[in-house]
Structure 1
Amino acid sequence: MSGRAFRKAINKEYDFLTKRINDEDLNDSEDIDQPPPKSNLFDLLNEVTDDTENRNSDENASEPEINNETLEPSIRLTSSTKKKKKKKNKKNTPAENPMAELEKKTRTGKKVEEMSEIELEALIREINDKFGNLSTAQQSDDNGNEVHQSSTIPSNSFLIIDARLLDADGEMRRMFSSGIVDREIRSRNYARTIKRTLLAKPRQSWPPILKFGLRMELLKENDGIYHFKFIHSQQYQVVQLDFLRRIATHDPNAIISLLHENPYHIDSLLQMSDVYKMSGDHTMAGELIERALYAFEKSFHIKFNITKGTSRMDYKYFENRAFFLGLLRHVQSLSRRGCWQTSFEFSKLLLSLDPSNDPMSVLNFIDYLGLKAHQYTYVLSLANEWVLHKLQDWPNFAYSAAIAQFLLESREENNSAHEMSKAMLEKAILYFPSVILLLSEKCDIQLESDVSESSFIQEVPSSNYLNLLIDHYVDQISPLWTQPELINWLQTVSINVVVKMQIPDYKTSLGDEEFAKALSYGKNLRENSFNEQIPLNLSRYIVVSENSKFLAYLPEVTSRDIDLHDPLPPPDGVSPYDAYSESSNTDWDSILAVDLRRFLGGVPVGIIAILAIYSVILKNYTHYGLFIK
């Protein structure tokens, strides 16, 4: 880019940001779930206590809610008289480069040195997206595909959570009339609490939460990344063993009975949530998931911070798996309610726990949630800059990134040609042509006969793994393809690709060399990159997902029993309950010991040990025929 064009782009961006600053109207709003009480000395004391207890909470948790139109940059722009004056004076000042602008003032009115890590990383990402490649060098691999090598944007920047956007009620207020939503919120009877929780709000109908045997410990810290593990106390292990025994009866009443005695037992809450969901009571199912997440949050380590993207958990530990499962179920529940922004933020949280292994296969649906939440820049950046996987070679990201680019271009007045998004969609079609035909069938899109009858478009992948990825993506993304402009875009680009393959001199958005390389790369990709078995994390997600039709792709999984409270545990899994789970016929004395320990869970450890010895004595009596069962 020439210096003149570069300065012009900067001026345009500055004018854009200044306009947004002046158009914004930031009104300090309070949580209307809980009307503020009259101020008194005790309230002031509570505020001081609350501030002390919330040291590990997100700094932005109490900031005002965000207008739905400005959700894409995760930091809200503020309005001030000083900034309006600066806009007037800006016309007479020379244009500066983006880095100088970054160092002068940020969108929040802070200097760089005053910014938090979250604000700074989000601002850097937006500047890179707007000005293009200021910190990211674009290179081409051997196949002509752009490779982004970033030195300033770590993958961790994609895992940062805006705590304000974890509130589904807040999103509902932004979407609908506040009066209607507020009546619905009041009907839930949220409880008043001193310390605000982020994952779920407690309700007055919930039993008070005391120490129930679940805690979290810090395993290690590496370069600012913290690794945690949940711990089950001896009391909790007794309840868990009882749960395993009751779940084997396949009687929901047995789990309900256990919940009456232990209202915050995680696996029981998630199991009953699944029961209510299958019976059609989605409201109760969602409430039980929220209660489980509330119990988890009350057990967090003081250094466990869900907003910074620096807290990790290993899925191999049994005690951690229910947290992953609860978050995934919550994402599904929020999506069903249409709370796409909240669902998207929770999916980022779920991904942040183990981004390398992604045990719940978040990367197979986060692009869709990002598009539904209007986070187009995020989807584009994730596809190009995620260093742990080459997401551009995945069917969902190849197409979703093109859609995100198209929708971003649609916001610009002078970009009606959509050349960049057309080139991206052409490349996606050359990589995974069968998506087009499936989309046309699913969404009733009329394709040109040359397209629908093309042998290239009709190609069916030989890989079961790739077929599952494509089938799942089409089923998931199809609601977006009801927009006429997207349909016209798809029809135009698909015919261009087919004609180009028949007439090499035909002009497309991709140049001749790029087109040929993408065609060759796509063929190699389909033939060689998806030949392995379906990964365990994807199989696990399919089992937990709400669409059972994809289970047909997993015959080796569905042919065996699956525990829905612990679906498809990892082969290197570590569990204190393995001995119990592997025993198909638990002997009489172990059941007796479990029952005794359950009813005497508060008894000191020494007494429980005596009871265990007594159990062994009973076994010996049984062996010699001195005790009749």
Structure 2
Amino acid sequence: MSSRALRRLQGRGNVMALPPVDQEESESDEEEIVNHVVNKFALLDDSDEKSDEQIATDVVKQDTAVNKKKKNRKKKKKKATTMTPTEDLDKVLEEIESNGQVAPSTSHQRQDNLMSFKFQKSVLTVEHRHLNPDNELRKIFGTRALMGDSSYRRRNQGSQSRGMWLTQPQNNWAKLGRTGISMKSLETKNGCQVFKFEHSKDYQDIQFKFLDAVDSSDHRNIAVIIEKHSYHVDALLTFSDVYKVHEDIRMARELIERSLYCLERSFHSCFNLTTGMCRLPYKYQENRCLYLSLYKHMNFVSQRGCNRTALELCKVLLSLDPEEDPLGSILELDHFALRAAEYEYLIKFASEWGVSRNLTQLPNWAYSLALAHFQMSLLEKSSDKEKADKALQNALIMFPSVLALMLEKCSVQPDPKVAACAVFASKTKESRPQGLELLCHMFVCRNHSLWKDPEILAWLESNVNAVISRVEKKDRFVDECAQKRKTRYQKPPMNIYRHALISELPEVSSLLPLDIRTGTMLSHDPLPPQDTVISYQRPARSSHGRSRHPVSLFFHSLLPGFNPEEPFDGAPEYLDRADAGQMRGNVQTLMNAMRELLDNFQRPLAEDEEEEFVQDWD
């Protein structure tokens, strides 16, 4: 090979310098340039060698041809993209005006866009990634910091189950076979699908054994059921409370996660937690286990600092039955939104649901909405400060008892003029309804830590002074709110009491009515609604052992085989007739005396006796 051929191959000098290649050029152009300019096989042919001037002339011609092709293609692209989206919309509008109709494809596309826009605006829509607390923990602490947690390693080093969003199975869990729980679709109502859990025959038999174990008042019998049936949901819910009482929070949380894993594996193919369009009525007894599992899981997640995950779980819980809200999720939604710094979402939720649900008539929403506007004013330096002041003043006038409770929880001594104000005076406590007191105490117990910031306390103080001046000027709004407090909140709905029971907040249980405080509360079914629908009946059991009164349990422990409701069969054969008759009479007298004793112990108090009992208790 000649020296000229080697120089042509190595690209020395300016003879073989390639023109700069545009990134927008297609692959075909690149191949064409390589074939025309760098044809390495042609270098082997020394017989037809050209001069350097001829080579340079050929390169210039090739560059000119390639540039012309590029310009032509760019012109074609510009012509194809000259129509902007605005002109496209104008063209569609012109077609509507001229023909009175639009092309089917265009109309369907616009309808789909409108439906997707409505779907995005739903405040009950949930994102899958926010349902897993491990994602939030990794975002807060990082993966390396979490590798020291044994429970985190068990959850994430094993095989991940596809389609499981609420929880992931751990390696130490038993293999989940047939759960005996299924879900069926009942109907479509107002654009939402209604579902219901169903129990198989085998699961019903296990459920009956579980109810017998609950009646025995011995948690060891429930432990036996869990040992034999690792995924019985009601037993897991009940025994989780046992571990919580013994302060074994890790095991209590694990049992709740196991129950959620079992229920999620039983979901219907059309049941989707994230759309907010699937309903699960609480009146069906089989559906309540999912409510309670979600609620307990939400609180455990919140205790670990995963407030965004808790907010998404609360939205799921509310979406299952937003009309009835059986567990009072609306009383905690604002709390998790503030803890997760989702101020825009809280304001959006209040704007969409505030009028129809009267959210501002709840103390937690009245104060939380004002705090959300105040936090937004700090972040954006916008006019939300005026909205925050107005909302907080209205909340203070409507629910003045919150101020004293909040200052006490925050360890702040109130100003003397606050105690002298007629609205904030302690003497108004007598006129406050019991239901309102319950709502105010639950709000302060949850949210007082959010109001301890010095900047927030200064903002609260300025608005308290503004309220005092409005009271001195005899503002009409003050009298209107006082009248509302007298007529409303007299008897809260059952879901408020149910929420107060399962929330386990301090100083709240004493505010519940006497019949609820002294009644039996089951962990797997607290305060069942009056419209309960029972799909299958529990088989008839002997009345022996059903009474759970302490005196009855005492006699049962002395004589386990004795049943006071069974008739006396007779005396033994070795006694004569006289002795047998006397023994029969004595036993009958003793049985009658025991029945009378038990009846007296179980007899309900009369109204006057109950009033005296309440006065003595207070």
TM-score (norm 2): 0.67
The aligned counterpart of 1:255 is: 222
1:192 aligns with 2:151: no
* 1:122 to 1:372, Cα distance in 2 relative to 1, 3 A: farther
Deviation at 1:116, TM superposition (A): 9.6
CA contact (8 A) 2:363 2:440 kept: yes
Give the counterpart letter for 2:372 in structure 1: A
Partner of 2:508, secondary structure, is helix
1:163 aligns with 2:122: no
1:506-548 deviations in Å (ceiling 9; x for gaps):
xxxxxxxxxx3532331222111212x2321111111111225
Cα distance in 2 for partners of 1:243, 1:534 equals 32
**Which one of 209, 220, 231 corresponds to residue 198 of structure 2?**
231
1:485-517 deviations in Å (ceiling 9; x for gaps):
11010011001110232246xxxxxxxxxxx35
**Which one of 519, 537, 540 corresponds to residue 560 of structure 1?**
519
* 1:436 to 1:578, Cα distance in 2 relative to 1, 3 A: farther
1:484 aligns with 2:443: no
**Which one of 260, 263, 288 corresponds to residue 321 of structure 1?**
288
Structure exhibiting the larger radius of gyration computed from Cα positions: 2
Cα distance in 1 for partners of 2:438, 2:283 equals 25
Give the counterpart letter for 2:370 in structure 1: A
Deviation at 1:414, TM superposition (A): 5.2
The aligned counterpart of 2:301 is: 334
The aligned counterpart of 2:336 is: 369
Deviation at 1:437, TM superposition (A): 1.4
1:540 aligns with 2:508: no
**Which one of 550, 558, 569 corresponds to residue 528 of structure 2?**
569
The aligned counterpart of 1:453 is: 420
Deviation at 1:190, TM superposition (A): 5.0
CA contact (8 A) 1:393 1:525 kept: no
Cα distance in 1 for partners of 2:195, 2:504 equals 29
CA contact (8 A) 1:356 1:388 kept: no
* 1:486 to 1:271, Cα distance in 2 relative to 1, 3 A: same
* 1:255 to 1:292, Cα distance in 2 relative to 1, 3 A: same
* 1:300 to 1:414, Cα distance in 2 relative to 1, 3 A: closer
1:399 aligns with 2:367: yes
Cα distance in 1 for partners of 2:314, 2:483 equals 31
Alignment coverage as a number of residue pairs: 439
1:409 aligns with 2:377: yes
* 1:411 to 1:216, Cα distance in 2 relative to 1, 3 A: same
Partner of 1:159, secondary structure, is coil
Cα distance in 2 for partners of 1:484, 1:227 equals 48
CA contact (8 A) 1:112 1:120 kept: no
1:496 aligns with 2:455: no
* 1:384 to 1:445, Cα distance in 2 relative to 1, 3 A: farther
Cα distance in 1 for partners of 2:540, 2:508 equals 28
Map 1:186-335 → 2, pairs under 5 A: 186-188=153-155, 190-193=157-160, 195-335=162-302
CA contact (8 A) 1:190 1:202 kept: no
By relative contact order (CA 8 Å, sep 6+), the higher-ranking structure is 1
Deviation at 1:204, TM superposition (A): 1.2
In the alignment, structure 2 segments of 5+ residues that lack a partner are 1-85, 87-108, 547-568, 572-618
1:114-165 deviations in Å (ceiling 9; x for gaps):
7696x63475x5xxxxxxxxxxxxxxxxxxxxxxxxxxxxxxx221111110
Give 1 or 2: higher helix fraction.
Answer: 2
Cα distance in 1 for partners of 2:536, 2:232 equals 16
Deviation at 1:178, TM superposition (A): 2.7
Cα distance in 2 for partners of 1:211, 1:534 equals 41
Partner of 1:230, secondary structure, is strand
CA contact (8 A) 2:185 2:194 kept: yes
Cα distance in 2 for partners of 1:388, 1:431 equals 19
Aligned-pair identity in percent equals: 33
The aligned counterpart of 1:178 is: 143
Give the counterpart letter for 2:466 in structure 1: N
What RMSD, in angstroms, separates the aligned Cα atoms of the two structures?
A: 2.8
Instruction: Select between 559-568 and 377-386 the one with higher mean Cα deviation.
Output: 377-386
Give the counterpart letter for 1:170 in structure 2: N
Deviation at 1:624, TM superposition (A): 13
The aligned counterpart of 1:526 is: 485
* 1:489 to 1:580, Cα distance in 2 relative to 1, 3 A: farther
The aligned counterpart of 1:471 is: 441
CA contact (8 A) 2:208 2:538 kept: no
**Which one of 403, 408, 411 corresponds to residue 444 of structure 1?**
411
1:433 aligns with 2:400: yes
